[in-house]
Structure formats: C-alpha cells, structure tokens
Amino acid sequence: MRRSPLHELHRQSGARFTEFAGWEMPVQYRGIVAEHEAVRARAGLFDVSHMGEIEVGGRDALALCQHVTTNDAAKLAVGAAQYTLWCDERGGTIDDTILYRLGAERYLFCVNASNAAICSAWITEQARAFPGARVVDRSDELGLIAVQAPRAAELLARAGGERATRLGRFQCGESSVAGVDVVAARTGYTGEDGFELFAATADLSALWSALLDAGRPLGGEPIGLGARDTLRLEAALPLYGHELSRDISPLEAGLGWAVKLGKGRFIGGEALAEAKARGPARRLIGLRMTDPGIARGEYPVVAGGRQVGVVTSGTKSPTLGIAIALALIARESVDAPLAVQIRGREVRAERAALPFYRRAAGDGDR
C-alpha cells in the first residue's frame, strides 16, 4: 500500500490506520465520535494526500475541461473553483471532482483517490483531440491538507495564512501558510467552513506540524477518515463508489444542478439530456430510521414487502443522535412508506430532507 508523506507523524500521534483505495491512511486517532465533534465545534486537520491532482494548461485548456466535465467551466473566473463531474458516453459517473482555475490558461482538477489513475488516463486520452492542451498528473508531487470547522479561519491565521482566510467560498489562489507555498481554496468535505491547502510533498510535514501547533490553543486536532465519512454524510455529500458510480448518473444522485446541458456538447451530455427528458429511473433520498437500527451501505430498502432500492451510505449521526442514511430508490417509490432490511428484519424509516445537517452561514459564504 502507498503511504502519505505524513505517515510517520500520524503514527507518532497514535493514529489507527486503514486501507483506502490502495493507501494506508489514518482512520482515527482518539475516536471517530470525538473527532467528529471536534470538527463541528472547534477545528480539525485532515490529511487527504491520497487524492489526485491533474493540471490542464494551454490555449485549449478550457475547451478540454468543457469536453470532459458536466458543469460549465467557462463560467469560472481566475481564482474560482467549481464542483463538477466526469461522465462516460452513457451518462454514468467516472468521478466527481472540484475544478480550480488558477490562471488564464491553467486549471487544476482534484480527483478521488480511488479514481486517480483512471482519471489521469481518461483525460490524457481525451486531450489527444485538443492539441493546444497539456495534461500533467501532479498527484505524486502534491499533497493536500484540509483545515475544517468553525475556527478554521482563525487557525489558519494563527499559522501565518491570513491572506488565505480572505478567500470566499469556492475561491482559490496561490498563497503562503507557515512559510510554505500553497494553493489555498475555501472548499471542503465536511459541511463546515474550511480550507484545502495543496503543497509540495517535501513541504507537507512542516505545514502539518505548523497547523497542529496553531490549532492546539483552539482545541484543534488531527481527524481520521472515519470522522470524515460521518461528517460528509451528515452534510449529504456524495462518496464515489457509494452515491456515484459508472452505474449511477449525476441526475440520479441529485446533482442535476452541476449538469449544464445548455453549455454545448460534452461527454455524456446526450445521454443525460435523454435521461432528464424521461425522468431518472432512480432518485437519491435521505432516510432517518424511526425504529432502532442503523442502515449500512448495500442494505435493501423495501416498500410493501418488495425491494425498491438500496442504502448507499448510513450511520448514526453524532451531531443529531439519530440513525441516518442515503438511499437510491426507484422513482415511483420515493414517497411510499419505506423500511430497511437489517439482518433479515424490516426496520421502519422515513424520508428526511437533505442535507441532514447545515451549518450557520459565516464569513466563508460571502
């Protein structure tokens, strides 16, 4: 398995590790619930260096980005970021990603660890039709640290990153934190305010240590992948391989807002337009369990004694104190009385509005 540049620092902090997408990553330090609560109330640091980074540049950079993504990259000003998806010709999802525009002809994709090699090969192949675009996989040379929580901006300022704190939500730019050159973005995967910092792998340990030191007086601490998953689920943020896949389109996953069919031709656009016209056969919905039991991924969802869908992700919400889940349900059954089959028994559930958790608006929303 591959290891993060911060692996030894995680070990020294008492991390417990797990395998994820071919990487040995920290799943927790002092406990998933405690770390979850730290991010909701104070500040948390995530090592997400397993994510992939792919840079696109040149005079055809925008045209290539438009060709492979569902959202409208032409709307991105320099210094802005955009959630978008890559689809195949059938409209199935290859990956969901954030696209950062760093210059007039310079774009950066942050792709999921599980799809990093697939995405690199895919966009390199597509670039053959765009001779004025160059694609560079920077995954091995860049690491990524996320600073998330209500006190994230305060933590970053204490670490010498005050310039980065002036970014608005989904803005990005080159900056410096703790004397380390970074590309900073006000984005994240927790439902809280926060920042993601791309830095050279050689500088990552110094940056991590400086951020930890700055965060301790604020109650900040390192956070593992276990709490990252419960945090993103409360915020109803999709995880590739669960809410998205080659067999699940962005429309079925409730991400139609990131599919701009009017922007011109793009890969998967025709299939998505047809699916939108007839209506997706399945819909992703939120569930809360009304009887005791926790719905887990791949558990069947039933209505009237027959299976009508499947749980994609589920947990007991540390913030809300109830069992919650996301489920992909046949369109005609989304409003029916539902239950989840848990170990052979039907456990009643009711539809819940998404997201399950929404933070109060703050400076990052300007």
275, burial (CB in 10 Å: exposed 0-12, middle 13-18, buried 19+)? buried
Question: Where would I find the beta strands (DSSP E) of the chain?
Answer: 2-3, 16-20, 23-28, 44-47, 52-57, 81-87, 93-103, 106-111, 134-137, 142-148, 172-177, 180-185, 194-200, 221-223, 282-289, 300-303, 306-316, 323-330, 338-342, 345-352
Answer whether 0.75 is exceeded by the pTM.
Answer: yes
Sign of CA dihedral 203, 204, 206, 210: positive
> Helix, strand or coil for residue 35?
helix
Fold of the domain spanning 53-124? Alpha-Beta Plaits (3.30.70)
Query: Could you report the average pLDDT of every consecutive run of 10 residues in the chain (366 residues)?
Result: 97 97 97 98 98 98 98 98 98 98 98 97 98 98 98 98 98 98 98 98 98 98 98 98 98 98 98 97 98 98 97 98 98 97 96 96 64
281-352 in CATH: which number? 2.40.30.110
2-50+140-234 in CATH: which number? 3.30.1360.120
Domain map (residue ranges) of the chain: 2-50+140-234, 53-124, 281-352
pLDDT for res 360: 83
**Encoding tokens for residue 283?**
């819909």
172 in Cβ contact with 185 (< 8 Å): yes
pLDDT for res 366: 52
pLDDT for res 363: 61
Q: Would the CATH topology of 2-50+140-234 be identical to that of 53-124? A: no
Beta-sheet strand order (sheet of 16-20): 2-3, 23-28, 16-20
Round to whole Å and give the CA distance between 243 and 89.
19
